[in-house]
């Protein structure tokens, strides 16, 4: 999409081509007219506004929001039509809101301008005609050769031409792009001229596209006397803008993408906005209130004309109409009257609610970032909040979709055992012998002579060679690392120093395998100009030429290398998943290894099979040519490469298999159990094998011993003679009967999980079967999908294995769109989880080992899985309660604010006479009642966090948007109506005799309004105080402060003749009110009477509330706790202490646990 | 790895950031609420009784003098063609009407709180700004200028419709009628009289009103509102101030006079009285009623049964509810006693 749009902008010929051509150095000396292609300059413009367009553009964008637009309309009506309240009353809050937003956005844009300038004015060096020219970054054009020094960032996307390193590589860190701080190796274009001045070449490459990891291009190098040479360009040749050069003194590269076309800039696009369920509720309520508003205005307008039709009422002698009024058309008058009433009652929908909600979300999200429980000492980071719009959604999650590797498990691989030719080698055996490593003469004895020495060594060599692991460079720079390391390695008998942290790889499996091989005596020493060095058991160094790397991809599920040994043989080593290796090796070898692989898999280990093949020179030559050709292809390169790979990786010999353990994340089982206790259904979506995934599920206690597993996998589908489709149909029906129809109907209200005594079901499905469910013939597809969904929804846990990333998203989408549209949450750590993270309502990234893509695309990122528990049960619950209360309270307080004004119309001849003074109308939402609710919505903990975490069931009490459904809304609305009626009529009866002062003087209409308003402000604030369960000093300050402010303001407002006011309506009204004992008494009376039902409700709910909770605590969680105690003795202290809500004690507990936790982590 | 490095990214361990601010967690338990309700109930009943008794002790005498009924003495005055009509209402007190007695006039079905009516005045004019004497605000329309386009001062509906019935009270004694002195001072808010409304500083006051006309409905110009007291004229005329403070509801009363002087300061002794009304103000057109009210006041103002009854009801409600709660809790055996 974006590419296409960009293409359109570029115009001309470019728009029709899929690639761009860049001329490097001298122009081709052709006689034909040369039209330099137009590319954009290297200016980064991330700012939205300029000084000139800021005001109109910003205003336009702000008024595109429906709420702002509504208030603008109200304001305009007030300006145009003769309305009861001055335009200031709605104009001022609107102006305030707009200004604050504009200032915030302007400031952000100013920061962006500054950052842009910093980037654009950055000094760079460009090589031009052999001279080095200093210039500014923004002046770089496509085709310029740019020089970059160490630790500088690249000013645009460059093709690496020259590096000061001997091996034509350079190191780069892309920390600012994707957060991966490891050094990545990039390669120069092979065989380019050393002298860049004389370089003359064209580069053809694809149009800019945002994928950071994809790049396809071709470079034609023209030499004066020879045919142009063609080199393929891949992502390994491309240095991205924003990345930093490391460990390399200087590089030169040619700019291919500049400015807004760089991959960094293309990735800058914001993600699509996710909206929370609460927002939808707000909109629904808004609609209701809008209806109330309109109907109020309609009622008043109608009644006004009915009332006026009575003789004498329309125009009494004391209040005659003006000439203009008499002449105005009746219907026009009615319409303006209607508008006037709308304006008078418009305060029922407050501007400030949006501001407050947004502020609450923005400020509230800081508590997640600040939470020390989310801090992980290992990676030294805490949680990250990418969007604050979804805080409350965390309290509403019904489905959790979790990745397995790196999420449920640590992705911290440990080599457990291997099997060579069917003989098993336990790593445990080797541990003791590691000490005897220096005994160089007995390699055979170490492996206990199970397989032949030849095969053993071949296997270990395969482990050492078949990978893409890098040896981490020591702190010294550049070239000397291999020397120094060789020096260390040369010392006999010392284990290599880089045993713990020495390797960097994209996947931790590979490191585990290389380390495993090291345990057995084969050490990978590193790569040096395409030569792989390994040290064998006799401490001799073997070197292999690395000819080709056939990269790993999730579709093939294997990777291979082709190396040339000293002897000149070309060898292909291949490792991969059993399912992808077994069909490609000779079948007679498979059986003896399959047993081991399957046994290992059921134990929860990750298994890989290793195979090799000797390539004859002819075979190699053909493979080499094919690979080169495929790599040069500009179109469909991926497909062509895979075809060649499949062709090369055939007819191999199976050597053995490895088993690597992936440990469970800390507290994974506890977290999962807590989630299930909270009524959340956990689905595991993994690309891993079924057996491995199943064992992980058992280990996490997602499956329990009593769980009946319903399997829908290729295996269960294929045991019959019938066709797969039929079998699928039968199985689905069978499972549906079992899990859906035969289960006694559970009580509505979400009492699922372990509170249900009946049978638990677990469902297992694999990718192939899933695609059958989704893609079977048209008619049955939706039926199958339905069956599948129903089965899944009745199972406690669903395991989907062998999933492609897109299938993960498909599943999330299916659940998301199912009946009741449940709130989904996806959690994952790798690039393969991004699709589901983006798809789910809430996406959570784990700051794991597989890079940062997941974190970048997530809404929230946490360091460990165990933090999910507090994020949902603690923060999520609190945020939900806070925002739900905030929303309901806002509607309530505006209803009882405006209702007296509505009622007053019945007593003032429907003349739109405002009850309150304009200042009160304006300030009510901005000053008098805004702060307490904001403080409440930030600080409230109706149940303290520790209790929430210990009683997962509490999470169910707010499930399904419980606090924002129509019943609670109705309660709040009725409360608002009750209060409004009370305020108005209470004062109305008092004013039966307006002589309320001790000196017999009477009160007028503004006194009436002020008394009502005083009662209103106090009641509304006290109502909030009554709901506050957690009084910090801030709450005290804000609640009592607001009331004090109201009183002081009223004195002040009425105490001075304000020169800018036309009418001093409230002059000394408040003071006179306070001098009247009756006013005091009625205020106290009405406040108390309004709060009485609430107090009663709180008190009468008490005897039922805690009892119900005690009951549930006594039955189920008790057993739950016992289980925990049994499995996690370390948690005893915490569990027990949480009974008392002592904050200090809790902190001590934390501190005590800290050292234990860290030691636990750094242990293995 | 140094310790500082280790904690660089670590969030601050403050009570605020960790949401561990020391907090008071009030629990509305039965132990607090039941005694609280009893105390509140008793207090309210106490206040209620005091209010009720006070209100009961206030004497009120209301006399409707609209003259709707044909046998009413004021009936003759309801004809709009009759000018300077006087009517008399006789009443007798059988016991002392305790002083100080306040005289109110009351109007009903009179919408002083009508928005257009309320806006129809010129605040600047009323603070004595002479510039607005010649150019009254347009908000006063249709009482901004008269037919000859002369500015009306004070302009606007409120001023124009000022109440202009007059009352004179006589005690009928053997020797004839004794006038009861009515005190017109201190009937308006002190702040209105002294600060909010100001006369122009012109001396004599009359000159300020040159080239202006009196409100159409007024019998006399503003500077001659009170012929007996020169200081009580213009915009700070107390009757004018009382009228300008708009009533909140369509049935209202406004303070007219106090009886604070002479022997009547202690109250109106038992006997026969005659109230002579200068009947000028038409209310029949809009179905209004006029009345005159004699009342004495207490610390809570005029007579108002509502407050006392409300307090009594709420107070007893509290007590009843505390009893109900006690029963409920006794049944549940105080489950929240931990």
Residues A322, B115: C-beta atoms closer than 8 Å: no
Q: Residue B44: inside a domain, yes or no?
A: yes
pTM attached to this predicted model: 0.78
Q: Does B297 touch chain A (CB under 8 A)?
A: yes
CA dist A1004 and B189 (Å) reads 11
B23 within domain boundaries:
no
- Judged against a pLDDT cut of 50, whether residue A157 lies above it is answered with yes
User: Are residue B264 and residue B316 in the same domain, yes or no?
Assistant: no
Tell whether B321 and B214 lie within a shared domain: no
A688 — pLDDT class (breaks 50, 70, 90): confident
Helix (H) / strand (E) containing B164: none
Residues of A in contact with B301 (CB under 8 A): 993, 995-998, 1000, 1076-1078
On whether residue B323 sits in a domain, the answer given is yes
Lowest mean pLDDT among A165-169, A653-657, B239-243: A165-169
H-helix segments, A249-329: 263-266, 277-309, 323-327
Burial of residue A435, with CB atoms counted within 10 A of its CB: 0-12 exposed, 13-18 middle, 19 or more buried: exposed
Chain B positions touching A1009 (Cβ under 8 A) are: 248
Position B96 in a domain: yes
The residues near B4 (Cβ < 8 Å, ≥ 6 apart) are none
Is pLDDT above 80 for A798? yes
Contact A1077 B19 (CB under 8 A): no
SS3 A244: strand
Contacts of B22-25 spanning 24+ positions with Cβ under 8 A? B22/A1032, B22/A1033, B22/A1143, B23/A941, B23/A1030, B23/A1031, B23/A1032, B23/A1035, B24/A1031, B25/A944, B25/A1029, B25/A1030, B25/A1031
Question: Is A1146 or B132 the better-scoring residue by pLDDT?
Answer: B132
Residue A927, helix vs strand vs coil: helix
Say yes or no: B306 and B292 in one domain. no
Rounded to the nearest angstrom, the minimum Cα separation between A897 and chain B is: 18
Residue of B nearest to A84 (CA): B115
Number of H helices and E strands in chain B, helices first, is 10, 10
Most confident of A261-265, A349-353, A862-866: A862-866
Residue A98 has pLDDT above 60, yes or no: yes
Around Cβ A213, how many Cβ atoms within 10 Å?
12
What confidence tens digit (pLDDT) does each residue in B75-123 have?
888 888 888 889 999 999 999 998 889 999 999 999 999 998 998 999 8
Of A322, A301, A318, A346, the C-alpha closest to A911 is A301
Phi-psi region of A753 (alpha: psi -120 to 50; beta: other; left: phi over 0): left
B194 and B168: one domain? yes
CA distance B297 to B312: 21
Contact A1029, A878 (CB under 8 A): no
**What is the average pLDDT across A1088-1102?**
83
Residue A777 — pLDDT band, cuts 50, 70, 90?
low
For A804-827, the pLDDT digits (tens) are: 777 888 889 889 888 888 999 999
Q: Chain A contacts of B113, Cβ < 8 Å?
A: 907-909, 911, 913, 1005
Report CA Rg, chain B: 30
Is the pLDDT assigned to residue A478 strictly greater than 80?
A: no
- Nearest-by-Cβ selection for B115 from A318, A913, A1064: A913
- Indicate yes or no: CB of A990 within 8 angstroms of CB of B311: no
Edge-to-edge strand list for the sheet holding B176-180? B85-93, B271-279, B166-173, B176-180
B52 and B65 in a single domain? The answer is no
pLDDT over 50 (residue A1079): yes
Q: Are A387 and B23 in contact (CB under 8 A)?
A: no
Quote the pLDDT of residue A1153: 38
Sort out which chain B residues have CB atoms less than 8 A from A1114's CB and list them. none
pLDDT at residue B92 in the model: 92
The verdict on B312 and B233 lying in the same domain is no
Which residue does chain B place closest to A1097, by CA atoms?
B28
* Residue A217 · residue A230 · CB < 8 Å: no
**Do B306 and B290 fall into the same domain?**
no
The C-alpha atoms of residue A783 and residue A777 are separated, in whole angstroms, by 10
Q: In A1041-1063, which positions are buried (b, 16+ CB within 10 angstroms) versus exposed (e)? A: ebbebbeebbeebbeeeeeeeeb
pLDDT at A175: 61
Tell me, yes or no, whether B124 and B270 share the same domain.
yes
Please tell me which of the candidates B18, B44, B258 has its beta carbon nearest to residue A371: B18
Residues of B in contact with A382 (CB under 8 A): 9-11
Q: Select from B30, B295, B335 the Cβ nearest to the Cβ of A1099.
A: B30
Q: How confident is the model over A556-605, as pLDDT tens digits?
A: 778 888 888 888 888 899 988 887 888 888 887 788 888 888 888 777 67
Listed by number, the residues of chain B in 111-130 with a beta carbon closer than 8 Å to a beta carbon of chain A are 111-118, 120, 123-124
User: Comparing A606 with A366, which gets the higher pLDDT?
Assistant: A366
Q: Which of A380, A1008, A1034 shows the shortest C-beta gap to B9? A: A380
Residues B189, A1107: C-beta atoms closer than 8 Å: no
Residue entry with tokens 């520790």: A946
Length of chain B: 338
Residues B76 and B199 in one domain: yes
Q: A1085: which 2 tokens?
A: 């009376």
- Phi and psi at A484, nearest 5°, equal -65, -35
Q: Percentage of residues in chain A with pLDDT exceeding 70?
A: 81
Q: Judge whether B269 lies within some domain.
A: yes
Count of A-B CB contacts under 8 Å: 257
Enzyme catalytic residues of A: 403
Looking at the structure, tell me whether residues B104 and B49 fall in a common domain: no
Q: Over the stretch A367-407, which tens digit does the pLDDT of each residue have? A: 998 998 898 888 888 888 887 788 889 999 999 999 887 78
If phi over 0 gives left and psi between -120 and 50 gives alpha, with beta otherwise, what is residue A5?
alpha
* Range of the structural domain that residue B180 is part of: 59-296
Query: Considering only alpha carbons, which residue of chain A is nearest residue B5?
Result: A380
Q: Within a domain: residue B54?
A: yes
Whether residues B207 and B257 share a domain: the answer is: yes
Q: What is the average per-residue pLDDT within A831-843? A: 83
Pairing of strands A180-187, B60-64: unpaired
pLDDT band at A719, cuts 50/70/90?
A: low
pLDDT tens per residue across all 338 residues of chain B = 444 445 567 888 888 888 888 888 887 777 788 898 999 999 999 999 999 999 999 999 999 999 888 888 888 888 888 888 899 999 999 999 988 899 999 999 999 999 989 989 998 899 988 889 988 988 888 888 988 999 998 999 999 999 999 999 999 988 788 999 999 888 999 999 999 999 998 888 888 898 899 999 998 899 998 888 888 899 999 999 999 999 999 999 999 999 988 888 899 999 999 999 999 999 988 889 999 999 999 998 999 999 999 999 999 999 998 998 888 878 775 544 43
Q: Do A909 and B186 make contact, defined as CB atoms within 8 angstroms?
A: no
Give the whole-number percent of chain A exceeding pLDDT 90: 20
Q: Is the pLDDT of residue A1137 over 60?
A: no
With a cut of 90, say whether residue A295 has pLDDT above it. Answer: yes
In degrees, to the nearest 5, what angle opens at C-alpha A1127 toward C-alphas A1124 and A1129? 85
**Partner-chain contact A1029 B47, CB within 8 Å:** no
Residue B19 lies in a domain: no
* Residues in chain B closer than 8 A to A1072 (CB atoms): 189, 191
| pLDDT of A465 higher than 90 | no
Nearest to A591 by CA among A419, A418, A417, A422: A422
Give yes or no: residues B119 and B193 share one domain: yes
Of B186, B158, B170, which is closest to residue B102 (Cα–Cα)?
Answer: B186
Give contacts of B295 with chain A, Cβ < 8 Å. Answer: 995, 1000
- A857 contacts A835 by C-beta, under 8 angstroms: no
Q: Is the pLDDT of residue A479 over 60?
A: no
Beta strands of A782-851 (E only): which ranges?
797-801, 824-828, 842-846
Nearest residue, CB atoms, B304 vs list A372, A1078, A1098: A1078
Question: In whole numbers, what is the pLDDT of chain A averaged over residues?
Answer: 79
Closest CB to B189 among A313, A1001, A1082:
A1001
User: Which residues, including other chains, have CB under 8 Å from residue A280's CB and lie 6 or more apart?
Assistant: none
- Give the total number of structural domains in chain B: 2
Residues 6+ apart with CB under 8 A from A1089: A982, A986, B314
Q: Cβ(A1029)–Cβ(B26) under 8 Å?
A: yes
The verdict on a CB contact (< 8 Å) between B102 and A995 is yes
- B258 part of a folded domain: yes
């Amino acid at each position: 999409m974006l590419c296409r749009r960009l293409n359109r902008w570029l115009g001309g010929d470019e728009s029709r081509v899929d690639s761009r051509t860049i001329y490097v150095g001298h122009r081709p000396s052709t006689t034909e007219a040369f039209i330099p292609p137009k590319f954009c300059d290297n200016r980064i413009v991330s700012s939205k506004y300029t000084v000139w367009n800021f005001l109109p553009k910003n205003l336009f964008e702000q008024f595109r929001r429906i709420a702002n637009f509504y208030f603008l309309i109200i304001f305009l009506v007030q300006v145009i039509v003769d309305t009861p309240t001055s335009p200031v009353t709605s104009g001022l809050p609107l102006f305030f809101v707009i200004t604050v937003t504009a200032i915030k956005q302007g400031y952000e844009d100013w920061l962006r301008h500054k950052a842009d300038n910093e980037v654009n004015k950055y000094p760079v060096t460009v090589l031009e005609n052999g001279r080095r020219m200093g210039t500014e970054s923004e002046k770089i054009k496509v085709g310029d050769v740019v020089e970059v020094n160490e630790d500088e960032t690249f000013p645009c996307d460059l093709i690496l031409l020259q590096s000061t390193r001997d091996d034509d590589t350079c190191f780069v860190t892309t920390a600012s792009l994707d957060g991966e701080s490891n050094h990545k190796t990039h390669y120069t274009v092979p065989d380019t001229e050393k002298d860049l001045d004389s370089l003359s070449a064209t580069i053809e490459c694809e149009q800019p596209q945002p994928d950071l990891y994809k790049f396809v291009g071709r470079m034609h190098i023209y030499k004066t006397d020879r045919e142009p040479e063609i080199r393929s360009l891949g992502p390994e040749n491309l240095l991205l803008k924003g990345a930093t050069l490391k460990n390399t003194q200087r590089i030169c590269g040619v700019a291919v993408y500049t400015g807004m076309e760089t991959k960094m800039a293309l990735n800058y696009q914001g993600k699509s906005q996710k909206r929370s369920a609460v927002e939808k509720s707000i909109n629904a309520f808004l609609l209701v209130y809008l209806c109330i508003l309109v109907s109020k205005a309609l009622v008043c307008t109608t009644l006004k004309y009915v009332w006026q039709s009575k003789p004498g009422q329309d125009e009494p002698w004391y209040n005659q109409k003006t000439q203009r009024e008499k002449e105005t058309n009746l219907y026009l008058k009615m319409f303006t009257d209607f508008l006037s009433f709308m304006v008078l009652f418009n305060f029922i929908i407050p501007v400030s609610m949006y501001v407050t909600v947004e502020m609450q979300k923005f400020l509230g999200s800081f508590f997640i970032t600040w939470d020390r429980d989310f801090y992980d000492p290992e990676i030294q980071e805490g949680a990250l909040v990418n969007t604050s719009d979804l805080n409350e959604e965390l309290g509403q999650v019904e489905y959790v979709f979790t990745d397995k590797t790196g999420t449920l498990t640590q992705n911290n691989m440990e080599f457990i055992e291997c099997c060579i030719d069917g003989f098993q080698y336990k790593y445990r055996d080797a541990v003791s012998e590691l000490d005897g490593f220096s005994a160089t003469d007995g390699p055979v004895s170490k492996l206990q002579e199970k397989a032949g020495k030849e095969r053993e060594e071949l296997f270990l060599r395969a482990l050492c060679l078949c990978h893409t692991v890098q040896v981490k460079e020591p702190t010294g720079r550049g070239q000397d690392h291999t020397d120094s390391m060789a020096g260390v390695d040369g010392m006999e008998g010392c284990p290599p120093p880089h045993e713990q942290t020495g390797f960097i790889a994209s996947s931790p499996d590979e490191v585990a395998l290389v380390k495993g091989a090291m345990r057995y005596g084969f050490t990978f020493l590193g790569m040096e100009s395409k030569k792989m060095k390994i040290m064998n058991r006799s401490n001799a160094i073997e070197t292999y030429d690395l000819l080709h790397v056939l990269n790993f991809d999730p579709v093939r599920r294997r990777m291979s290398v082709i190396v040339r040994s000293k002897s000149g043989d070309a060898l292909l080593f291949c490792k991969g998943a059993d399912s992808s290796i077994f069909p490609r090796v000779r079948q007679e070898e498979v059986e003896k290894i399959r047993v081991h692989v399957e046994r290992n898999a059921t134990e929860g280990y990750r298994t890989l099979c290793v195979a090799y093949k000797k390539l004859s020179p002819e075979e190699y030559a053909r493979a080499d040519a094919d690979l080169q050709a495929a790599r040069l292809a500009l179109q469909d390169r991926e497909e062509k490469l895979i075809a060649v790979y499949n062709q090369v990786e055939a007819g191999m010999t199976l050597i053995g298999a490895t088993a690597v353990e992936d440990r469970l994340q800390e507290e994974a089982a506890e977290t999962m159990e807590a989630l299930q206790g909270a009524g959340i259904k956990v689905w595991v979506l993994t690309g891993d094998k079924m057996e491995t995934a199943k064992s992980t599920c058992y280990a996490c206690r997602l499956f329990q011993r009593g769980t009946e597993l319903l399997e829908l996998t290729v295996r269960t589908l294929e045991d019959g003679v019938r066709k797969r489709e039929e079998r699928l149909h039968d199985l689905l029906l069978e499972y549906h009967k079992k899990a859906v129809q035969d289960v006694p109907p559970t009580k509505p209200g979400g009492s699922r999980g372990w509170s249900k005594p009946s049978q638990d079901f677990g469902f297992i499905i694999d990718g192939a079967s899933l695609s059958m469910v989704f893609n079977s013939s048209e008619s049955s597809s939706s039926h199958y999908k339905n069956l599948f969904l129903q089965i899944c929804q009745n199972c406690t846990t669903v395991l989907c294995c062998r999933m492609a990333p897109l299938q993960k998203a498909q599943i999330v989408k299916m659940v998301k769109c199912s009946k009741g549209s449940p709130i989904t949450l996806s959690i994952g750590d790798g690039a393969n989880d991004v699709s589901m993270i983006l798809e789910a309502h809430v996406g959570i990234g784990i700051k794991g080992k597989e890079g940062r893509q997941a974190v970048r695309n997530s809404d929230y990122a946490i360091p460990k899985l165990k933090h999910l528990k507090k994020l949902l049960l603690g923060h999520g619950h609190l945020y939900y309660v806070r925002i739900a209360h905030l929303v309901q309270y806002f509607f309530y307080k505006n209803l009882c604010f405006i209702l007296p004004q509505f009622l007053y119309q019945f007593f003032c001849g429907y003349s739109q006479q405002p009850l309150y003074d304009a200042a009160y109308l304006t300030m009510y939402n901005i000053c008098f009642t805004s702060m307490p609710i904001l403080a409440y919505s930030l600080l409230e903990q109706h149940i303290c966090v520790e209790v929430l975490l210990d009683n997962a069931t509490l999470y169910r009490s707010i499930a399904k948007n419980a606090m924002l459904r129509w019943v609670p809304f109705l309660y709040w609305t009725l409360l608002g109506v009750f209060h409004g009626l009370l305020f108005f009529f209470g004062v109305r009866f008092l004013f039966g005799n307006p002589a309320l002062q001790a000196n017999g003087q009477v009160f007028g209409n503004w006194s009436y309004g002020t008394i009502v308003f005083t009662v209103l402000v106090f009641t509304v604030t006290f109502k909030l105080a009554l709901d506050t369960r957690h009084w910090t000093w801030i709450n005290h300050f804000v609640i009592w402060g607001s009331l004090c402010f109201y009183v002081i303001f009223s004195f002040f407002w009425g105490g001075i003749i304000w020169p800018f006011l036309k009418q001093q309506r409230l002059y000394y009204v408040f003071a006179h009110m306070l001098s009247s004992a009756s006013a005091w008494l009625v205020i106290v009376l009405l406040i108390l009477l309004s709060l009485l039902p609430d107090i009663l409700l709180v008190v009468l709910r008490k005897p039922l509330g805690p009892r119900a909770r005690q009951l549930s605590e006594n039955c189920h969680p008790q057993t739950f706790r016992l289980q925990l105690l049994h499995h996690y003795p370390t948690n005893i202290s915490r569990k027990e202490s949480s009974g008392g809500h002592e904050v200090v004690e809790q902190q001590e507990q934390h501190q005590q646990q800290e050292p234990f936790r860290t030691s636990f982590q750094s242990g293995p | 790895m140094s310790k500082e490095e280790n904690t660089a990214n670590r969030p601050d361990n403050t009570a605020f950031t960790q949401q561990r601010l020391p907090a008071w967690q009030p629990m509305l338990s039965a132990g607090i609420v039941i005694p609280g309700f009893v105390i509140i109930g008793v207090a309210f009943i106490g206040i209620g009784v005091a209010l009720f008794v006070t209100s009961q002790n206030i004497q009120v005498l209301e006399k409707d003098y609209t003259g709707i009924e044909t046998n009413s003495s004021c009936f003759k005055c309801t004809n709009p063609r009759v000018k300077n009509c006087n009517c008399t209402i006789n009443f007798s007190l059988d016991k002392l009407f305790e002083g100080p007695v306040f005289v109110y006039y009351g109007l009903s079905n009179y919408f002083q709180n009508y928005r257009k009516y309320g806006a129809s005045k010129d605040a600047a004019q009323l603070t004595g700004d002479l510039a607005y004497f010649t150019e009254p605000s347009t908000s006063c329309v249709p009482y901004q200028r008269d037919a000859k386009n002369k500015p009306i001062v004070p302009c606007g509906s409120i001023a124009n419709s000022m109440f202009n019935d007059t009352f004179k009270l006589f005690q009928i004694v053997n020797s004839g009628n004794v006038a009861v002195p009515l005190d017109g001072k201190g009937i308006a808010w002190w702040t209105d009289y002294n600060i909010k409304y100001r006369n122009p500083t012109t001396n004599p006051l009359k000159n300020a009103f040159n080239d202006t006309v009196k409100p159409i409905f007024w019998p006399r110009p503003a500077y001659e509102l009170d012929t007996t007291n020169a200081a009580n004229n213009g915009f700070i005329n107390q009757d004018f101030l009382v009228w300008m403070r708009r009533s909140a509801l369509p049935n209202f009363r406004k303070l007219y006079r106090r009886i604070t002087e002479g022997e009547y300061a202690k109250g109106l002794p038992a006997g026969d009285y005659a109230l002579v009304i200068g009947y000028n103000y038409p209310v029949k057109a809009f179905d209004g009623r006029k009345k005159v009210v004699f009342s004495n006041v207490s610390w809570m103002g005029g007579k108002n049964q509502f407050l006392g009854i409300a307090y009594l009801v709420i107070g007893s409600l509290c007590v009843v509810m505390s009893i109900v709660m006690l029963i409920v809790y006794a049944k549940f055996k105080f489950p929240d006693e931990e």
